[in-house]
Amino acid sequence: MKVAIVHNQFSSGGGMEAYMSALIRGFLAAGDEVHIHTYEVDRALAARLPCILHKSNLFFLPRRWKKYWFLWQCNRHFDRNAYDLSLGLTRTFGPDIAVIGGIHPASVAASPGRNYFLRRFHDRIETGLERTMFARTPRILAHSKAIAGEIEAYYSSTDPGKISVLYPPIDTDFFRPVQGDELIEARKRYGLDSAKMTLLFPSLGHRRKGLEELLTAFRQLDRDRFELLIVGERVRGFTDFPGAVRYLGYIENLSELYTAVDYTVLPSYYEPFGLAVVESLQCSTPVLVTSTVGAAELLSPDEGVVLDDNNPAALACAIEKLEKKTVEPGFVQRHGLSLCQHIEQLKALVQ
């Protein structure tokens, strides 16, 4: 099958970039020909994932305007009939399927401290692009039931019959629990104390994912009993770190760390799905999340704790009550979230 994926950047980064890399691996493993339409390319990543690149050269534009120009080009020139299957991971209506990992107005409504006066011009552009995408794309794929509900709530003119829910997949070759000497070595490498309850906060958007509230909660906890590890983007704008909090930087393969810690925590204001939740569970580590995390739809009481919101006092109380345990192996298999299953389901949408 000849497949096209359209996204702003072909790089490592957030949830949609991780999803894109997983798709490429899945299609290549199935023997498909993969074409990438983008304007920004990480050459090291592209070398590891051999596909056919169609790169727009927009070096002369400021970053945000690069995206707008790229989307305008895609809407005018992308030919979905040239492919057996085409997927849009950004706000364009050219491909067969628009893959939605969150919608702009819901993100704006949930963003703490957002300066609406300075951002409202771009908000209008983003919302307008989404509205056109939902109206003109043949099929819409929402990454959670919550997202599907938001599409219908914020864009009521969208035909609900063309919306499908398909949770994003996890590459089980990439995310797997480590054991034995490998696990012992990982605990040493990250300086973990087995006497403490260690929580992992993986994030590329600290404020939206509730880091400020989490830090406030940790100021109320005993540093000799609890520890928080932050991984992902640099921590800027947060002061007075509690002594029990450490920043480890950006780590590309988190499997070891997911398995080595006791819980993964994601107290987000807005998290349409939250791949980190499923990655952690596949590595046998339970989670603590807010109800606004889309992946909470999949959790059983044995797999995680779901809070109504990220109030610091409620977070601290919940963390105090956590008990060390591991999740039953095979979370991905139980929920049909394997990469090969996902690829088959995507193909079925256009057959």
35-49, 106-120, 197-211, 315-329: segment of lowest average pLDDT: 106-120
pLDDT for res 115: 52
Q: For residue 318, what are the contacts with CB-CB under 8 A and spacing of at least 6?
A: 288, 305, 307
- Computed over every residue of the chain, the mean pLDDT equals 90
Residues β-bridged to residue 307: 290
* Sheet of 263-266, strand order: 245-249, 226-232, 197-203, 263-266, 287-290, 304-307
Confidence check: pLDDT of 116 > 60:
no
Q: For residue 39, what are the contacts with CB-CB under 8 A and spacing of at least 6?
A: 8, 9, 55, 56, 57, 58, 66, 67, 70
pLDDT for res 155: 95
Confidence check: pLDDT of 204 > 60:
yes
pLDDT for res 250: 87
> Please, what CATH class does the domain formed by 2-167+336-348 belong to?
alpha beta
Confidence check: pLDDT of 113 > 60:
no
For residues 58 and 70, the answer to whether their CB atoms sit within 8 Å is yes
pTM for the structure as a whole: 0.84
The 10s digit of each residue's pLDDT in 65-107 is 889 999 999 999 999 999 999 999 999 999 999 999 989 888 8
Confidence check: pLDDT of 136 > 70:
yes
Answer yes or no: same fold for 2-167+336-348 and 180-334.
yes
Give the pLDDT band of residue 114 (cuts 50, 70, 90).
low
Helix (H, G, I), strand (E, B) or coil at 189: helix
- What is the rounded average pLDDT of the residues 327-337? 89
CATH code for the domain defined by 180-334: 3.40.50.2000
209-218, 229-238, 276-285: segment of lowest average pLDDT: 229-238
pLDDT for res 149: 93
The residues spanned by each domain of the chain are 2-167+336-348, 180-334
Q: Of 262, 257, 294, which is closest to residue 277 (Cα–Cα)?
A: 294
